[in-house]
Amino acid sequence: MLREKSFIDAAKKLISGSIGDELFFEDKVFQYASTSSAKFIALIVIIPWAVGFLVHDYILMPFLDRYVKTVPLVAELLDVRRQQKLEMVKSLRVAKARYRLEVEIGKSPPLSDEDVWLELRHKALHC
């Protein structure tokens, strides 16, 4: 008998529209949860990005610029390009010595200075 009343009550609520209010409330709750989740995820991404940007541009870079200007040795240590250039010069010197050795042992024909320069230039541009 209790089930019949609950079925009849559910049918009355469906006809009168009060179930629609419950569904509307559930939709609002779901929409609120979705919106708050999206905001939370956006904050998780945006706040660290913004803080990193601000720290890099307004704290780290001015400090490094001032420090590099006052201590010239630090500029040499932080200059990665200089190390790369030195490594490239070293490899070119080794290649030049190899060309000379090959000529001396008779492995390759004698090369003029211009030919050696062209070979080294080719090696520097393509390596």
Q: What is the pLDDT of residues 3-46, one digit of tens each?
A: 556 777 777 776 666 555 566 777 778 888 888 999 999 899 99
Whole-number pLDDT of residue 109 = 86
With vertex at residue 78, the alpha carbon angle to CA 76 and CA 81, rounded to the nearest 5 degrees, is 80
Structural domain boundaries of the chain? 1-77, 79-127
CA distance 30 to 103: 81
Average pLDDT over residues 96-106: 89
User: Average pLDDT of 62-77?
Assistant: 76
Supply the pTM of this predicted model: 0.37
**21 vs 13: CA distance, rounded Å:** 10
78 token code pair: 């932080």
Q: Give the per-residue pLDDT at 51.
A: 94
